[in-house]
Amino acid sequence: MTSYQITRGLARNFINNNTVYKKLDVIGKKVGNLEKKMNDMDTKIGMVKNELESKIGMVKNELESKVIKVEGKVNELKSGEETQPLPE
């Protein structure tokens, strides 16, 4: 192999490697953008989850309160005491 052929081969490898590096850079940027979007979605999902858990907790507490009132009314009726209407 002559030095010209070696130089030409090295130049071809450099060009091919440079193209590969450019493609890898583009892929890396796309992956980075996807990771950012994924993190943003995780944050939004977490916020929605917390909001739903809060609302579920409020409804649960409200229902438990109503159940306690109804149980009290049932106990009054069983004991034959004079009852008053349930509050809304």
Encode the chain (88 residues) as per-residue pLDDT tens digits: 677 676 777 677 777 777 777 888 888 889 989 999 999 999 999 999 999 999 999 999 999 999 999 998 888 888 876 656 666 6
Question: Shortest CA distance to 86 belongs to which of 77, 73, 75?
Answer: 73
Residue bearing tokens 């004991």: 79
**What pLDDT score was predicted for residue 84?**
63
**What pLDDT score was predicted for residue 41?**
97
Amino acid at residue number 18? N
Question: What's this model's pTM, rounded to 2 decimal places?
Answer: 0.54
